[in-house]
A and B are shown apart, each in its own frame.
Chain A
Amino acid sequence: MYFYLVFGIIAVLFIFVKGMFLCFIPQSKLPQVFERSFRYIPPAVLAALVAPSILYTRSAGGFDISPVKIAAGTIAFGVALKTRSILATIAAGMILLWLLTYLAG
């Protein structure tokens, strides 16, 4: 029962957080400043998600700088800019990651 109580509360609070400005806090109540922030949410979020995953490998000891990921990620970003294709970016990044890991290893 304890399990369902704890995770039930998490599930309900998740819906509140994830739907916060969609359902619970009306946009009309927000200061104008928020509206200007819309434009910057996707670039800030995506860059913040990408950069650490390209720079570091997570291990039990924490975050280690990973030259292999940096090289594969940087070249893949070039491919993404050039092709605008998700699949080409995945292919370039993964093949380079495997190849460089093999060569380094």
Chain B
Amino acid sequence: MSEEKQEFLRGARSGVPLIIGVIPFALVLGLAAREAGLTTLQGVFFSTAMLGGTAQLAAVQLYGAGASALVIVATAIIINLRYSMYSLSLYPILEGRSFAERLFAGYCVSDQSFAITMAEYEVAPDNPFLPAFFLGASLSIFSVWIFSILIGYKLGTVIPAELSLDFTIPLVFMSLLIPHLKGWDRQVSAVVGGVAAVVLVPCLPLQSGLLAAIIAGIGAGMVSSFFKKKENSEGEE
């Protein structure tokens, strides 16, 4: 087996712990799609044509409630604007790949596959097979996501909500955060991002609090990098 194939499979396996948290969400989404009155064919289109988590849920609920097309589209896009930053961050990994491959990467990237790939990049930035790893992780998560939406559509939320399996999502993300905490400038960026999210997410609409918190965290990191540089150059003198 080629090394690239091995990395693809390793990515797919790395996606497995993240899948536990994704399934309950996708089941809820499938149920919401049925409640919004989607036909089976529409449900299949809805689950395969896009990958958007919360944005998909908001869009399908608004559609079911009879909101105008403009409101549905704008809501979905605003909720997902953070993905533009993922594409910025993934660029060094996918640089040199064809346009079609990069486009496909944009189609199938999720919070989860972004997080696991960046953790991998942090540990081994020179691994030439990271695109294969990313693809493996993205596709394993996306395929379970599609399948679980359809199960939710047909059978409802078959996993009891009392199990709170959605709590595994922050648990996975916190362990993937740790490799990125090297250097106090990055710790500042994490602390500011986290605190800003706690304050802003409940009070701003459409998850725009999350986007604002991410930008605040990145900004704080960049400001501290300025001081860090100064500190380093003074150290050299």
Docked-complex contact B76 and A89, CB < 8 angstroms: no
Q: Are A22 and B198 in contact (CB under 8 A)?
A: no
A87 in the interface, Cβ–Cβ < 8 Å?
A: yes
Instruction: Report the Cα distance A51→B80, complex, angstroms.
Output: 19
Is A49 a contact of B225 with CB atoms below 8 Å?
A: no
Complex formed: what's the CA distance from A101 to B160 in Å?
Answer: 15
How does the 8 Å CB contact mask read for A61-73 relative to B, with 1 for contact and 0 for none? 0110000010011
Q: Across the interface, do A42 and B122 meet the contact criterion of CB distance under 8 Å?
A: yes
Chain A interface residue count, CB cutoff 8 Å, equals 64
Please measure, in the bound complex, the distance between the C-alpha atom of A5 and the C-alpha atom of B57, giving whole angstroms.
17
Neighbouring A residues of B178 by C-beta, 8 Å: 80-81, 84
A79 to chain B, nearest CB (A): 9
**Cα-based distance from A80 to B176 in the complex (angstroms):** 9
Please tell me if the beta carbons of A50 and B173 are within 8 angstroms of each other in the complex: yes
Q: Tell me whether chain B's interface is mostly helix, strand or loop, or mixed.
A: helix
Interface 0/1 of B110-134, CB less than 8 Å to A: 0100110011001000000000000
Given contacts A11-B50, A51-B195, contact A45 B176 (CB under 8 A): no
Decide: A39 and B77 in contact? CB cutoff 8 A: no
> CB-defined interface of A7-18 with B at 8 Å, one 1/0 digit per residue?
111110111011
A62 / chain B contacts, CB cutoff of 8 Å:
202
Give residues of chain B (183-218) contacting chain A, Cβ–Cβ below 8 Å: 185-187, 189-198, 201-202, 210, 213-218
Q: List 5 A-B contacts (CB under 8 A).
A: A33-B222, A38-B92, A41-B218, A44-B221, A46-B177
A contact residues vs B (CB 8 Å cutoff): 2-11, 13-15, 17-23, 27, 33-34, 36-56, 62-63, 69, 72-73, 76-77, 80-81, 84-87, 89-90, 93-94, 97-98, 101
Name the 3 nearest CB pairs between A and B, nearest first.
A19-B106, A44-B217, A40-B221
**Knowing that A19-B106, A43-B180 are A-B contacts, what are 20 other residue pairs whose CB atoms are under 8 Å apart, sorted by A's residue number?**
A9-B73, A15-B106, A17-B77, A18-B106, A22-B94, A27-B95, A33-B222, A34-B88, A40-B221, A40-B222, A41-B86, A43-B193, A43-B221, A48-B193, A48-B194, A48-B214, A52-B201, A80-B171, A86-B17, A98-B163
